[in-house]
Amino acid sequence: MIRNTLTYLSTRGGKTLRLITGAAGIAVLAGVVTFTAVAATPTAHAAANNAGIHYQRGYSLQGSWFCYGWPNGYYRCTAHWHRSGGQIISDNPAWVPNNGAVTTTSSSSSHGSHSAPAPAPVSHPSGTVQGSTSAGEPCRSTDYFNGYPSQWEVPPSCYAGIYYVNPANYVSRPGFGWCNWWVEVMNPGRPDLLWGPYRRGTVPVPGATVVFAGGVQGASAEGHYARVVAVYPGGQWMLVSEMNFYWRGGGWQKVSYRYVHTGPGVTFIY
C-alpha cells in the first residue's frame, strides 16, 4: 500500500475526517489512499490517530508525513517529500504547496520550524475555468467544477455520467475500448500521437493528452491516458475524460470524467 495524500479538517469538537470508502473507511485505488475531510466518526478518529497525524498550523513533519495546516483548520499531508539544503521540499506541491520554506532543526526532529504561510485553497465560482475544450466530448456542459475540486469528487452536470460511445462517430483507430484509443481518436490530425515527435511538458492545457505513470492517481501498473477537458484556476487541478477507467461504473469501452492534478508521474502531450 502506497500512502500518497491525507486531508483533515479540525473543528472545535476535534479532528473530523471522512474516509472515502471501504469497511474501514479507506479508499484504495491502484495503491493510492486518499482521505477527504467532512464528517467525524470513531473510525476516522482511529485512522487519524494510527497515522499519527494531528492539526498544526503551518508546516510540520509528522512521522513520515509532511503536512501544512491552514488557519481555518484545513490541513493536508503527503508522504512524498525530500530534504534539500536544510529544508523540506514537497514532491507533491499540488497537495502540499512549497510556498513557504521549512527549515529542519535536526535529522531527529519531528517538527520543522514554520515560515511564511502558504495560501489556502481558493474556491472559485462554479463554471470558472482557466481554459477548456469540449469538442468531441459526449458531455459538453460548461459547468466543469463545483468550487475547489478534490480527488475522487464526482464532477457536476453531465460530467457525472458514464457514456458508451459509437466508434463509427470517430476517426478509425485500432483498440476500441482501451484508454489510448480515446485520446487517439480525440486527436485525429495527429497520427502516432503517443509516440510521435510531439511536444511534451508538465503544464495542463485543454485538449492535451495526460500521461499517467504506473500507479499514479488510480492508473494501472502499466500507466494510463486521459484528455484534459478543463483546467481549474491556478493550473494544478483539471477535469479529464478517459476510457477504460474503472470508477463510478466506468471501464471497458466507456467514457467517464474525473478530477486529477499535476504532480510526479503526470505529464502531457500537446
Pairing state between β 209-212 and 266-269:
antiparallel
pLDDT along the chain (270 residues), means of 10: 42 34 32 34 50 80 84 76 82 72 41 42 60 89 92 94 96 96 96 94 97 96 97 95 97 97 96
- Measured from the Cβ of residue 230, the count of other Cβ atoms closer than 10 Å reads 27
> Could you read off the pLDDT of 133-177 as tens digits, one per residue?
888 999 999 999 998 999 899 999 999 999 999 999 999 999 999
70-102 pLDDT per residue, tens: 766 667 888 888 888 778 888 877 678 776 545
The percentage of residues in the chain with a pLDDT greater than 70, rounded to a whole number, is: 68
- The domains of the chain, with CATH numbers, are 2-90 (no CATH), 131-269 (3.90.1720.10)
Where would I find the H helices in 104-167?
none
Beta carbons of 7 and 72 less than 8 angstroms apart = no
What is the C-alpha to C-alpha distance for residues 70 and 225, in angstroms, rounded to an integer?
33
Q: How far is CA 185 from CA 205, 236, 242, 249, 256, in A?
A: 18, 26, 12, 22, 15
Q: How much is the mean pLDDT over the chain?
A: 76
